[in-house]
Amino acid sequence: MKTHQIFCLFVILCHILTVTSTFRYIADENITISCGSSGISTADDERDWIGDIGSKFAPTEEPNHKSNTSGAEIQGTPNAVPYMTARLSNWQFTYVFPVTPGPKFVRLYFYSASYSGFERSKDFFTVKVGSFTLLANFSASILANSSDHSDISKEFCINVDKSQKLNLTFIPFSSNYYAFINGIEIVSMPEDLYYRPHSVANGEELVPVYVGQAPQFYINDSMALEMVYRLNVGGGSISPKEDTGMFRQWSDGTDYLLSEGVNPRLVSMTLNYLYIPNYTAPDAVYLSAISMGPNSTRNLISNLTWGLPVDTGFNYLVRLHFCEIDPNISIPGVRRFTIYIDYQQADEAADVVLWTDSNYRPYFKDYVVMIRNKGESMHLLSIDLNPIDSDLCDAILNGVEVFKLSDQYGNLAGPNMVPPPLDQEPALAANESKTKKAIFIAIGIGLGIIVVLTLVCCMVLCKLKKTRRFGCCHPLAKWWCRSRLDPYKREFSRRTASSLPGELCRYFRLDEIKTACNNFDEDLIIGVGGFGNVYKGLIEQGNMMVAIKRMKQESRQGVREFLTEIEMLSQLRHVHLVSLIGYCNDGGEMILVYEYMANGTLRHHLYDTLNDPLTWKQRLQICIGAARGLHYLHTCTKHPIIHRDVKTTNILLDEKWVSKVSDFGLSKMGLDNTAVSTLVKGTWGYLDPDYARRQQLTEKSDVYSFGVVMFEVLCARKALNLKLQEEQRNLASWAQKCIDKGTISQIIDPYLTNKIASECLKVYMELAESCVRDHGIERPTMNDVMEKLEFAFELQENAEVEATKDTDLEEVSLFRVATANGAPWLESTSGTDLSTISTGLSYPSLDFVTTISITSQD
Ligand SMILES: *[C@@H]1O[C@H](CO)[C@@H](O)[C@H](O)[C@H]1NC(C)=O
Ligand SMILES: *[C@@H]1O[C@H](CO)[C@@H](O)[C@H](O)[C@H]1NC(C)=O
Ligand SMILES: *[C@@H]1O[C@H](CO)[C@@H](O)[C@H](O)[C@H]1NC(C)=O
Ligand SMILES: *[C@@H]1O[C@H](CO)[C@@H](O)[C@H](O)[C@H]1NC(C)=O
Ligand SMILES: *[C@@H]1O[C@H](CO)[C@@H](O)[C@H](O)[C@H]1NC(C)=O
Ligand SMILES: *[C@@H]1O[C@H](CO)[C@@H](O)[C@H](O)[C@H]1NC(C)=O
Ligand SMILES: *[C@@H]1O[C@H](CO)[C@@H](O)[C@H](O)[C@H]1NC(C)=O
Ligand SMILES: *[C@@H]1O[C@H](CO)[C@@H](O)[C@H](O)[C@H]1NC(C)=O
Ligand SMILES: *[C@@H]1O[C@H](CO)[C@@H](O)[C@H](O)[C@H]1NC(C)=O
Ligand SMILES: *[C@@H]1O[C@H](CO)[C@@H](O)[C@H](O)[C@H]1NC(C)=O
């Protein structure tokens, strides 16, 4: 099947799913308040929101301290209702909701903006319900700044006792600060949805397993829950309207899937809710799943892993949704797997059919796990499924919900922090699966996009000719300049639609795009990401190779935003930035066209790859190029452009090994706008700890990530590797430790042994170490980084010239292999001809590598 057929199938399927089955629970309470407005306004999803002005829901305030109301100009995608109006005050105010007893969802909607009379950044406040603290020292502007979304929503579950009212109080930090709220939603839920254990047919109760602790954990009425993740595994996001009557938002979970080569499945079947209530989750959650793929050998020695960043110091309820959707698996014992949560065994032998007696019967399992605060405020909560040797060595997961449980003080508030998505590799799973291709799943953001290049705004370069070094000397730029003069081509590139400046960025019609990539031929996919697929394509009558990035439906943004972003991107031109050739927004598509980068990502030349290793000088030059690109971003406009996601998969290499930074400025494109609205851009493992702590994004956050890249280049290992011992998982902190202990030589890429001049290594390591210093202020600027790297390159070059001279005189020194003491990798090659190991150059002083230590300056 071709991609478009699958796509149609998917659309039809979704249609069937939404039109038919999903059961809807009728909530007793279903209150939607649009704060700061009056009358009734209808949201995009056709729900009516009641204005609080003059209604029975108007808040109570302190005498003489009336709250204010204000409107906000909504930018981008969020729904106008309830985000466009707010209630604000420098003093405490309380909404009182007379509700029936029982558990309720309380959803809060914030839109961070400059409201008249209030300074945007002075919004520090606490939100309480009765005795629970939902948010403390909360600042929507901080979250908004770090996540690229001004709209923030939070969902809590609270149990209301008999004769109690639901009082929702907003308390500013002090009278110099203000509290605000745009929308409040209260929806009741069935008692056994999250609070009471549900009893299955045989009388057994589904009480959460307390992982690594007492056998069970009862969720008390006296606890409040905060929803942190709600993922539809293997399927796309599900809007509140499509939920089972409780208006829950289900997100696409691919950003958190860490395994590669997985097998997503989506089926259309009638489900049989025999063991769990039919309102537990929408059918679509159970009808899609991820499993591991056909290679049993591989499956047995690997885990299907998800990683979910969470605040530390709380218990978490982890609900895993299961449903066997393979028509061939209807008896127990076929698909069995062990479940680990947070690296602890939670279920020794999970067997979905054993639990449900048949396939197509939804089920869920609850686990509670304690995430202790060991000094770090963020923690990566992992879910690992490991197949047990049985008929089918595989595991399956359909959905995940994670809730934070209030502590003994009724507190749910963590620091003002937003979890970054994880680093993921492209996974072209379907190629592996024998069953003719399910649906390509996009894994990760960022990715191995092999993309890129330039042109477009070359016109500007041609005119300005100011960039002496790069400008029109670039062959592609020349090509572009020539093609601008060719009348046929000019006609060809004329925009047919849209409102973008055509001089800056070429407009492609959808049919041109389709011709270029053979109608989105699966075989032409060269990268897969959270945003969609990247295809290789040919334009200009087959004369020019390009990379075509097609946004998938869920990650598409508003057309206006898309065009604004393109306009910005097409103005950034630099030889070390991957630049845009054109775009297409015909037929509801959002497509970007980049020059094809022949050598792919830097990451794919470093490790877990069949590519030949890069020489040290190549690596230095790649780093220098990337540093130049970032330096340009930081300095090209009045306000620095912060990349926010510097990593080895965002550094691409052209056919001449020139490195170019990609994925800048795509701040909003890669993110699932409908997902938990507080995703930060950045990647776990590369993320500046100072940024996480202080929420202030500066150029130094890119410098930190670049330092991690430098270590990755030197050591040829992942920035974050969950398979290693805790101490070694994070490359930046492990490398720093090794530098302190003087054992860094043990983690340097074995291929580089004897190939780095000691002076060069010293400069390089000092530089990398200074980039990853804890505090931004102690880190160098990108300009410093660039200069130091160039210096390191010179040192290397000089040393190589020297070494060549030496060897002319005395060939013996070529084979002087430093080590055996500190380089375990050499042991495996002992016995082989040494000359095959050190084909490169050897430095007499290299022994120093094993003893080098760098003292940090503080
Ligand atoms: C859902 O379950 C309720 C009772 O548990 C039942 O009355 C209702 O018919 C079910 N609805 C569907 C669509 O299965
Ligand atoms: C919620 O309230 C709206 C009115 O605002 C009503 O149209 C809708 O049917 C209600 N939904 C549920 C599930 O109770
Ligand atoms: C808020 O409203 C009060 C009157 O209700 C007014 O005196 C005050 O100036 C307003 N504050 C702001 C910041 O607009
Ligand atoms: C958020 O960003 C804006 C401009 O980018 C800045 O003026 C503001 O101070 C930032 N707010 C916070 C709380 O950092
Ligand atoms: C509130 O949060 C800000 C920013 O995260 C932090 O600087 C400040 O110390 C916090 N205040 C309290 C009282 O926790
Ligand atoms: C809620 O607020 C009302 C009115 O302000 C007050 O009478 C009531 O005691 C409060 N209830 C709780 C549980 O705090
Ligand atoms: C609340 O939970 C604790 C332990 O989690 C338990 O000991 C206690 O009995 C529970 N209280 C109620 C009212 O269920
Ligand atoms: C299955 O995986 C194993 C271990 O990773 C690998 O050695 C083998 O080549 C794979 N088999 C196939 C058919 O891909
Ligand atoms: C089920 O088994 C049959 C026969 O073994 C096979 O042809 C078919 O492809 C299988 N279906 C799936 C979905 O694996
Ligand atoms: C699977 O995950 C568990 C728990 O995190 C871990 O102990 C185990 O080593 C992992 N297995 C593999 C093959 O990675």
Ligand nearest to the CA of 197: 7
Task: With a cut of 90, say whether residue 489 has pLDDT above it.
Answer: no
CA–CA distance, 809 with 805 (Å, rounded to integer) = 7
- Better-predicted residue by pLDDT, 228 or 45: 228
Ligand 3 center from residue 90 Cα (angstroms): 10
pLDDT at residue 449, rounded to an integer: 27
- Is residue 422 a contact partner of residue 683, using CB atoms and an 8 Å limit? yes
Q: Can the peptide bond before residue 689 be classed as cis, meaning omega within 30 degrees of 0?
A: no
- Better-predicted residue by pLDDT, 706 or 496: 706
Band of residue 344 on the pLDDT scale cut at 50, 70, 90: very high
Task: With a cut of 80, say whether residue 848 has pLDDT above it.
Answer: no
pLDDT digits (tens, 9 = 90+) for 321-335: 999 999 999 899 999
Give the CATH number of domain 30-188; options: 1.10.10.410, 3.30.470.10, 2.60.120.430, 3.40.50.300.
2.60.120.430
Task: Give the residues across from 195 on adjacent strands.
Answer: none
What residues contact 821, with CB distance under 8 A and at least 6 apart? 850
pLDDT digits (tens, 9 = 90+) for 672-723: 322 222 334 567 788 887 776 666 778 898 999 999 999 999 999 999 887 7
What residues contact 713, with CB distance under 8 A and at least 6 apart? 602, 606, 619, 622, 623, 648
What H or E segment, with its residue span, contains residue 592? strand 591-595
Ligand nearest to the CA of 214: 7
- Least trusted range by pLDDT, from 262-271, 533-542, 677-686: 677-686
Q: Can the peptide bond before residue 750 be classed as cis, meaning omega within 30 degrees of 0?
A: no
Band of residue 214 on the pLDDT scale cut at 50, 70, 90: confident
pLDDT digits (tens, 9 = 90+) for 173-207: 888 899 999 999 999 999 989 998 877 766 677 88
Ligand 7 center from residue 192 Cα (angstroms): 16
pLDDT at residue 9, rounded to an integer: 41
- Least trusted range by pLDDT, from 97-101, 148-152, 199-203, 521-525: 199-203
CB of 33 closer than 6 angstroms to any ligand 2 atom: no
pLDDT at residue 682, rounded to an integer: 64
3-class state of residue 785 by DSSP: helix
- Least trusted range by pLDDT, from 60-64, 91-95, 148-152, 440-444: 440-444
Distances (CA, A) of 792 to 35, 449, 753: 59, 29, 17
pLDDT at residue 530, rounded to an integer: 61
- Which residues are annotated binding-site positions for ATP? 549
- Better-predicted residue by pLDDT, 451 or 547: 547
419 secondary structure, DSSP code: P
367 secondary structure, DSSP code: E
pLDDT digits (tens, 9 = 90+) for 741-771: 989 888 999 999 889 999 999 999 999 999 9
Band of residue 62 on the pLDDT scale cut at 50, 70, 90: confident
**Residue 640: count of CB within 10 angstroms of its CB:** 15
pLDDT at residue 610, rounded to an integer: 83
Active-site residue, 645 included: yes
pLDDT at residue 841, rounded to an integer: 31
Band of residue 154 on the pLDDT scale cut at 50, 70, 90: very high
pLDDT digits (tens, 9 = 90+) for 221-252: 889 999 999 999 998 899 999 999 999 999 98
CA–CA distance, 178 with 388 (Å, rounded to integer) = 55
Phi, psi of 364 (to 5 degrees): -145, 160
As a whole number, mean pLDDT of residues 341-350 equals 93
pLDDT at residue 199, rounded to an integer: 75
Closest CA to 156 of 187, 180, 181, 179: 187
Give the CATH number of domain 603-751+763-781; options: 1.10.510.10, 1.10.340.30, 3.30.1300.10, 1.20.140.10.
1.10.510.10
Ligand nearest to the CA of 218: 7
Nearest Cα residue to atom 5 of ligand 10:
343
Band of residue 667 on the pLDDT scale cut at 50, 70, 90: very low
CA–CA distance, 616 with 620 (Å, rounded to integer) = 6
- Is residue 349 a contact partner of residue 338, using CB atoms and an 8 Å limit? yes
pLDDT at residue 206, rounded to an integer: 82
Q: Exposed, middle or buried: residue 587 (CB in 10 Å: 0-12, 13-18, 19+)? A: exposed
- β-strand pairing of 580-584 with 506-507: parallel
CB of 68 closer than 6 angstroms to any ligand 3 atom: yes
CA–CA distance, 597 with 622 (Å, rounded to integer) = 14
Model confidence, pTM: 0.66
Taking the CA of residue 47 as reference, the ligand 2 atom at the shortest distance is 5
Nearest Cα residue to atom 12 of ligand 6:
130
Counting residues of the chain whose pLDDT is more than 70, the rounded percentage is 76
What residues contact 507, with CB distance under 8 A and at least 6 apart? 493, 494, 495, 496, 497, 498, 500, 582, 583, 584
Nearest Cα residue to atom 7 of ligand 1:
278
3-class state of residue 586 by DSSP: helix
Band of residue 807 on the pLDDT scale cut at 50, 70, 90: low
CB of 295 closer than 6 angstroms to any ligand 8 atom: yes
Distances (CA, A) of 148 to 138, 247, 490, 578, 689: 17, 24, 36, 22, 18
As a whole number, mean pLDDT of residues 483-495 equals 29
The CATH number of 506-595 is: 3.30.200.20
If you write DSSP's letter for every residue of 621-657 in order, what string do you get?
HHHHHHHHHHHHHHHSSSSPPP-S---GGGEEE-TT-
CA–CA distance, 422 with 380 (Å, rounded to integer) = 10
CA–CA distance, 777 with 654 (Å, rounded to integer) = 34
What's CA 630's distance to the chain center, in Å?
A: 21
- Is residue 214 a contact partner of residue 264, using CB atoms and an 8 Å limit? no
CB of 315 closer than 6 angstroms to any ligand 1 atom: no
Catalytic annotation, pick one of 252, 645, 654, 688: 645
Task: With a cut of 80, say whether residue 86 has pLDDT above it.
Answer: yes
Ligand 7 center from residue 371 Cα (angstroms): 20
Distances (CA, A) of 291 to 337, 396, 527, 680: 11, 5, 20, 28
pLDDT at residue 529, rounded to an integer: 66
- Which residues are annotated binding-site positions? 549
pLDDT at residue 768, rounded to an integer: 96
Counting residues of the chain whose pLDDT is more than 90, the rounded percentage is 41
Q: Which two structure tokens, joined as six digits, stand for 453?
A: 């290049």
Matching fold, domains 30-188 and 506-595: no
For CA atoms 727, 733, 735, 738, give the dihedral sign: negative
Band of residue 28 on the pLDDT scale cut at 50, 70, 90: confident
pLDDT at residue 379, rounded to an integer: 86
Hunting for tokens 């799913």 — which residue is that?
Answer: 17
Hunting for tokens 């690109």 — which residue is that?
Answer: 629
CA–CA distance, 89 with 68 (Å, rounded to integer) = 6
Hunting for tokens 């003292």 — which residue is that?
Answer: 855
Closest CA to 685 of 309, 344, 375, 416: 309
Fold of 209-405: Jelly Rolls (2.60.120)
Band of residue 454 on the pLDDT scale cut at 50, 70, 90: very low
Task: With a cut of 70, say whether residue 281 has pLDDT above it.
Answer: yes
CA–CA distance, 628 with 636 (Å, rounded to integer) = 11
- Least trusted range by pLDDT, from 32-46, 578-592, 649-663: 578-592
CB of 60 closer than 6 angstroms to any ligand 6 atom: yes
CA atoms within 13 A on the CB side of 83: 20
CA–CA distance, 119 with 141 (Å, rounded to integer) = 10
Closest CA to 608 of 701, 712, 533: 712
As a whole number, mean pLDDT of residues 292-299 equals 90
Please state the domain extents for the chain.
30-188, 209-405, 506-595, 603-751+763-781
Phi, psi of 228 (to 5 degrees): -110, -35
As a whole number, mean pLDDT of residues 464-491 equals 29
State the SS3 of 239-293: CHHHCCCCCCCEEEHHHHECCCCCEEEECCCCCCCCCCCCCCCCHHHHCEEEECC
Taking the CA of residue 302 as reference, the ligand 10 atom at the shortest distance is 13
User: Phi-psi bin for 283: left (phi > 0), alpha (psi -120 to 50), beta?
Assistant: alpha
Longest dimension (CA), the chain: 95
- Is residue 67 a contact partner of residue 59, using CB atoms and an 8 Å limit? yes
Task: With a cut of 50, say whether residue 209 has pLDDT above it.
Answer: yes
Q: Which two structure tokens, joined as six digits, stand for 590?
A: 């959002």
What H or E segment, with its residue span, contains residue 59? none
CB of 723 closer than 6 angstroms to any ligand 10 atom: yes
Instruction: Round the average pLDDT of the chain to a whole number and report it.
Output: 77
